[in-house]
Homo-oligomer: A and B are copies of this chain.
Amino acid sequence: MQPLLHEACESLSIILGEWRGSGRGHYPTIDDFEYTEEVIFGHSGKPFLAYGQKTKNAVNGDPLHSEQGFLRATGETALELVVAQPSGIVEIHQGSFASNESACVINLESIYVETSPTAKSVERVHRLLRIEGDTLTYDLSMAAMGQPLQHHLAATLERQ
C-alpha cells in the first residue's frame, strides 16, 4: 500500500513519478556527448523524496552515468539533496524551491562534494531543475578536474 505523502513534501508532489528524455553534455576535458535518461522521484511517507537516475549513450545505448539520493524537505521552501554516484562521488546540496500546481523550480548548490581515492576530482556542482506540467528540464554546472564552475549538462524529460 502506497503511504500518504508527508505534508512537508506536498509542495513537491509535481516532481513525483518517472521521467524519460534526452540531454547533451560538454566540458573542456572531454568530447561533447548526447544521452538518454530516466529519472524517478518516489516517496515513503517520510519528509523526503527518493531520487534516482540513469543515463545511456544516445548512439549505442551503453550505460553512462547514474546516481541515487534523497531530496530532503527541510523548511517551507528549503531543500537539501544528498547524492551518491558510482563514479565515486558524494554530494550534499542546499537549496530552495518555488512551486504551484503546474510548475516548480528547484535550485541546488553543493555545500560538500567529496570523491573517493580512485575517483576523478569534482569541486562544486550547481543543479537547476524546472517542471512545467509534464516536462522536466535541468541544467547542471560543475567545477571539476581543475576547471572553473561552468555548464556541463542540459536535458529535457517527459512525465511517463
A48 to chain B, nearest CB (A): 4
1/0 contact string of A49-65 vs chain B (CB within 8 Å): 01010100000000100
**Cβ contact of A82, chosen from B3, B90, B112, cutoff 8 A:** B90
Q: Which bucket holds chain A's interface residue count?
A: 35 or more
Chain A binding surface, main DSSP class = strand
Q: Does A102 contact B (CB under 8 A)?
A: no
Q: Does A38 contact B (CB under 8 A)?
A: no
**Contact between chains at A118 and B80 (CB < 8 Å):** yes
A80 to chain B, nearest CB (A): 4
Looking at A12-20, A26-34, A67-75, A121-129, the stretch in contact with chain B turns out to be A67-75
CB neighbours (8 Å) of A54 from chain B are 44
Complex A-B, nearest 3 residue pairs according to Cβ-Cβ distance, in ascending order = A68-B68, A90-B90, A70-B86
